[in-house]
Amino acid sequence: MSEPTGAVDRTTKRRWNRSSHAAYPEPIVERSPYVELALEHRDLEATEYGESFFPDAVPYTHEGTHRVFYWRPTLPAAASEPAAWDGLRATTDSLSAVTATDPTGIDLVSRRHGVTAVTVDATIAGESTSALLESYAVPDVRVRALSESRLRLDIEGTTFVVPAGTRQRISLAERTVARVDGTGEPTTTTPELVVRFPGDRELHHPALGADYRLFPSFGLDLESVPTPLSVPTVNGELDHEALAESLAVDLTARPYPERVLWQAFAYTAFDPHAGTDPRLCQFPTGHIALSEEPAADGG
């Protein structure tokens, strides 16, 4: 009787299609003041747990430049062009431009089928927990001015100034709320607006209205990548580290957040279980754009 075997490393062929970068609008690479805002309710019990295997926003430093890399389209398609921006504001699930002509309120909650979902605890464009409420008095929060050195907020009629390079937790007025699950009596919560203003950041983001995914170059030249590509797997699952090694991508030489982006790229482009063939192009900047189309074999 043969001995049982452990995991066996294998490779599987993964087809991908090459496109000219001229077929895609160029990505946004824009340096601008960048502020993060989250309205948290840590005194409420979470009833929903939002998980993002790969965060939408990946901040890191590359060759001395502070980047924020949004690899999935997050800016509204109708957003103004970067030349009109005074800065950028990010919430737990959105990214929008700040302009002098549009000091509108910021939507810091979400609404689903007549109920309000409020954040209990969250990271920007990453994992979050939330609670569902029957009704909720949403605080009025507006960015009144944003520059490289300071942020001016109007929060329910009171002005707050946040210097660049700082983080503040601002307690708001207590509210009485009722949970959707209907357990117990109405309860109170004291929301906190968490404001982080690191200063200027270099935004990397797909072009406005584009539906491709965007990645850094990782030092990769797409012209040298064959199709179909031999994708290494372990127990039938993609081995992203072995894939990097096979393509001469040195992950150890890259900051950890960019290694997270590599995982997102590897699994989005070359997952052996995917039913689509990725279409890839490389811009003159080195950025890689990825879009999907039905697999050639219909799988």
Each residue's pLDDT tens digit, 41-65:
999 988 887 666 678 999 999 989 9
Name the pTM for this structure: 0.90
Nearest Cα to Cα of residue 227 among 281, 287, 188: 281
The rounded distance, in Å, linking the Cα atoms of 25 and 253 is 30
Confidence of residue 104 (pLDDT cuts 50, 70, 90): low
Q: What is the rounded CA–CA span in Å between residue 118 and residue 35?
A: 20
What is the average pLDDT score of the chain? 89
Q: Is the pLDDT of residue 4 over 60?
A: no
| Per-residue model confidence (pLDDT) at position 110 | 87
Of the ranges 111-115, 140-144, 195-199, 220-224, which one carries the lowest mean pLDDT score? 111-115
**What's the confidence (pLDDT) of residue 296?**
45
pLDDT(298) > 50: no
Name the band, by pLDDT with cuts 50, 70 and 90, for residue 105.
Answer: confident
With a cut of 80, say whether residue 183 has pLDDT above it: no
